[in-house]
Chains A and B, each alone.
Chain A
Amino acid sequence: MAEITKLVHKYLRHDKKFPHVWCPGCGNGIVLGAMIRAIDRLAYRKDDIVMVSGIGCSGRLPVYVDFNTLHTTHGRALTFATGVKLAKPELKVIVVMGDGDATAIGGNHFIHAARRNINLTAIIINNNIYGMTGGQYSPTTPYGMKASTAPYRNIEHAFNIAELAVTAGAVFVGRGTVYHARLLDKLIEKAFVKRGFGVVEVITHCHTQYGRRNRMGDAVAMMKWQKEHAVRVEKSADMSEEELRDKFTIGVLVDRELPIYTEQYALVREQATENLPRSH
C-alpha cells in the first residue's frame, strides 16, 4: 500500500458502509485527501475536528472520515458550523460545500459568515454544475455552456467564488484545482492554520454531468483543461486582460488580519460581567 493511501486509511471510518457515492474519476476524493494530509501534518486530534457539509456530492464527504461530522441541510452548513464554533470555540471547524450549495441556496450565509469573520475554514468544491441532482446549471456554470436545465445554452453569468469571498471580508482566500495537487495541499493547510474565516475554492471537474454535455472529455481530459487554464496569482499580475480572458488564477488571493468574531465575543462577555455584583 502506498504511503499516501496508508495515511488516508488512518482517518477513514471503517464501520461505514462503503463504497462511496462518487463517480470513478471524481475530484472529491482528491480534495478529501488534501484535507486529510493537512490535518495529519498539523497533528490535529480527531476529537477536536468538526467537519460540516451541506447537500450534494460534496455533502457526502464528511461521512467517510472519523471526525465529529455533521451533514446539514442544503446551503446551511455555515450556519450550523457557526453554532458549533460559538458554543465550543476550541474546536477546529471545517466546512465543505459545493458551488450551488455555497453560492446559490447558501449564498447569503456565505457572505455573512465571511463578513463576521467567524473562525472557520470553508472549502468550496466548484465543479460548475449540480452533479448529484442530474447536471442542472449552477451559479458557477460559465456563460454559454450547456446543462440539463440549460439545454440550449446558459445565459446567466457565473460567480467568481474566490473574489466574492474577498469582497465579503474573508481573511484568507485561496484558489486551487484538483490537478495542482501539491498547491491544493498547501492552500488547505494555510487555510486551516489561519485564524478567522478562511476560504479555499477548489476547481474540479464533473465529467459525468458537466463534461459530457459540453464535450470536454473524460476526467483526465478535464484535469488537463485545469492545467491549461490555471495561472498562478503571482504570474497573472504581469499578464494582459487579453491573455487572462479564459484563464483563472490559482494561489493565495488574500491573506490579511481582521478582528475575529469569537475573540471579540469573549471581550463582550468581559464587558458584560465587569460591573455585576460578585456572588455572596
Chain B
Amino acid sequence: MKPSLVSSKQQVIRSQNPESRSDTAQGARHKEYIGQRVSFGPEPYAFAKGELMARKGKKKPRLLQGNEAIVEGALAAGCSFFAGYPITPASEISEILAYRLPQVEGTFIQMEDEIASLGAVIGASLAGAKSMTATSGPGFSLMQENLGFACVAEVPCVIVNVMRGGPSTGLPTNPSQGDVMQARWGTHGDHPIIVLAPSTVRDSFDITVKAFNFSERYRTPVIVLSDEVVAHTRETVVLPDPDEIEVLDRIRPSMPPEWYIPYEDTSSGVPAMGIFGDGYRYHVTGLIHDIRGFPTARTDEIEPFMRRLFRKINQSFHDIQIVNHFMTEDAELIVIAYGSVARSARRAVLDARDKGVKAGLLHLVTLYPFPRRDVMATIRDARVVLVPEMNMGQISREVKRVNEGMSQVATLNRIDGCMITPQEIYDWLIKEA
C-alpha cells in the first residue's frame, strides 16, 4: 500500500473505534502501520521538500497528546535538529521527530545517552540549527553538565523534561512535579535559566514555540517542564496556522568579520551570534571568557561577564514571565498552580464559584525566572493561598519566599505517583471558605 497522509488520517480515526480491535482487524492494521509508518495522526501541514507549507483554511480539530503537540510546536518554531535517548514518558517526542524531521530536511539522531544528546544539540545550534532534546528525570540529571555549558557559552536550545516520579528510576510511568528545583538549580554554579510548564495539549504546542523564541532571543537554554499527565493526555485541539505563529530567530552579526566581537555587551545584554562556517570565526568555551571568547581569570572581566548573563534575563521579566489569571480579581482564596495541576485547579475554582466561594487561580506558565511581581500582586489581598503540587513543596517555597507574611500559604502535596484531582482542590476550597 502506498503511504499517504489521507489514509493515515482515516487510520487514526479508525483506531479510536474499539470495535476495530478484533484480532483480524488488529493484524490488518498492523500491516498497514508497518507499510505506512504513520501512526501519529494527520499532519497539519502539507510538506513541500524542506519547507513547511500551511494548508490554509483547513484548520481542523485534531486529536493529539501533549508529547505530539510539543513536536508540532517545535516544527512550527523552526526546529531542524533533535538528539535524544529513549526514556519514558518522553519517548514519543523522539519517535515522532525521527519520522518528521527528515521530511523537512531536518536531522534526528539517537545518541548513546542524554549527555551526548545535549552535547549534539549544542553543537548543532552552534552550526545554526534550532535544536531540541527531550527526556525525563533520570536523563535530565545527566544533562545538567552540558546545560551549564549552554548557559555559559550562550547557546540557544530547548530541553523538554517530561517529569515522572523520582528520585532515581522512581516511577517511570507516573506523573510528578519533582524536578522543578532541578530545572532551576540542577547545573552547578550561579546561572539564570528559563523554565516553562505546559498544562494542556494546546499549551504544550504554544509553550514549545515560546521556548524556542526565548532561547533564540536571549541566547539561552530553555527548559520545558511537562509532566506525564500533560504528555499522555489526548484531547482535541485546534492548532494555529503557521502564519499566525510568531517565530523569532537569533540575532546574527552583520558587521565585517574582523569587527565581530563575539561576546560584546549590548543594551539587551545579548550578543549577536556567529554561526560556524559563516565567516565569523570565534572561540566557544565553557570557561569564563572575555568579550572575544577567550578564557580569562581577570576579575575585571569575570564579573562583568557574569552580571551580563543575569542582566539579559533580568531586564526582560516583562517578556519572559507568563502567568494566566483566572477569576483572581475578587478572590479571597487563591490557588497557585502549574502544569497538569493548574488544569485540575481551574475546574475546582469553577465548581467552587458555583457554590458561591470566591476562589481564583493564578496559573504559572513561567516557573523561572519566578514571576515574583505577579504572585505578590495576586496574593496581597487573598486570605489564604493554596499551592497544590505533585511534590513535597517546591514552588510553594518560592511563594512563601515572596509572600513575606502578607497572606497565609497552604500546601497540598501528592507524592504517590497520582495526579491531583479537581475534587481534592475543590474540597480544600470549600473547607476554607
Residue ranges of A at the interface with B (Cβ–Cβ < 8 Å): 13, 15-17, 46-48, 50, 52, 62-63, 66-73, 76, 79-88, 90-91, 108-109, 112, 265, 268-269, 271-273, 275-280
Min CB distance A21 to B, Å, is 9
Binds A, one of B87-95, B271-279, B351-359: B271-279
Q: With A86-B120, A88-B127 as given contacts, are A280 and B4 in contact (CB-CB < 8 Å)? A: no
The answer to whether B125 and A71 have CB atoms under 8 Å apart is no
Closest B residue, CB atoms, query A15: B292
Which A residues are CB-close (under 8 A) to B124? Answer: 83-84, 86-87
The answer to whether B4 and A275 have CB atoms under 8 Å apart is yes
Q: Is B123 an interface residue (CB 8 A)?
A: yes
Interface string of B284-321 (1 = CB under 8 A from A): 11110000101110000000000000000000000000
Q: Which of A66, A76, A273, A279 contacts B281 (CB 8 A)?
A: A66
Which B residues are CB-close (under 8 A) to A88? Answer: 127-128, 276-277
Closest A residue, CB atoms, query B146: A73
Min CB distance B269 to A, Å, is 23
29 CB contacts below 8 A, A to B, read A17-B294, A47-B278, A50-B127, A69-B281, A71-B284, A73-B146, A79-B115, A79-B116, A82-B119, A82-B120, A82-B123, A83-B119, A83-B124, A83-B131, A86-B107, A87-B128, A88-B277, A91-B127, A109-B112, A109-B115, A269-B102, A269-B105, A272-B103, A273-B50, A273-B102, A276-B47, A277-B5, A279-B48, A279-B53
> 13 extra interchain contacts, Cβ-Cβ under 8 A, other than A72-B286, A87-B128, A269-B102?
A16-B292, A63-B283, A73-B145, A80-B120, A80-B122, A84-B276, A87-B125, A90-B277, A108-B113, A273-B50, A275-B3, A276-B46, A279-B53
Q: Is B424 an interface residue (CB 8 A)?
A: no
The answer to whether B279 and A83 have CB atoms under 8 Å apart is no
Q: Which of B3, B119, B121, B277 contacts A68 (CB 8 A)?
A: B277
Residue ranges of B at the interface with A (Cβ–Cβ < 8 Å): 2-5, 46-51, 53, 80-81, 83, 99, 102-103, 105, 107, 109, 111-113, 115-129, 131, 145-146, 149, 276-279, 281-287, 292, 294-296
Closest B residue, CB atoms, query A278: B48
A273 to B80 alpha-carbon distance, docked (Å): 15
The answer to whether B149 and A72 have CB atoms under 8 Å apart is yes
The answer to whether B278 and A87 have CB atoms under 8 Å apart is no
Chain B interface helix/strand/loop/mixed: mixed
A273 to B100 alpha-carbon distance, docked (Å): 10
Closest B residue, CB atoms, query A70: B284
A-B pair count, CB < 8 Å, reads: 162
Min CB distance A116 to B, Å, is 8
Q: With A71-B286, A82-B109 as given contacts, are A87 and B127 in contact (CB-CB < 8 Å)? A: yes
Closest A residue, CB atoms, query B119: A79
Which A residues are CB-close (under 8 A) to B103? Answer: 269, 272-273, 276
A71 to B289 alpha-carbon distance, docked (Å): 11
Q: Which of B47, B126, B282 contacts A84 (CB 8 A)?
A: B126
The answer to whether B120 and A79 have CB atoms under 8 Å apart is yes
Which A residues are CB-close (under 8 A) to B111? Answer: 79, 82, 112
A81 to B123 alpha-carbon distance, docked (Å): 6
Closest B residue, CB atoms, query A21: B295
A219 to B124 alpha-carbon distance, docked (Å): 39
Q: Which of B47, B121, B282 contacts A273 (CB 8 A)?
A: B47
Q: With A47-B278, A70-B126 as given contacts, are A80 and B286 in contact (CB-CB < 8 Å)? A: no
Min CB distance A279 to B, Å, is 3
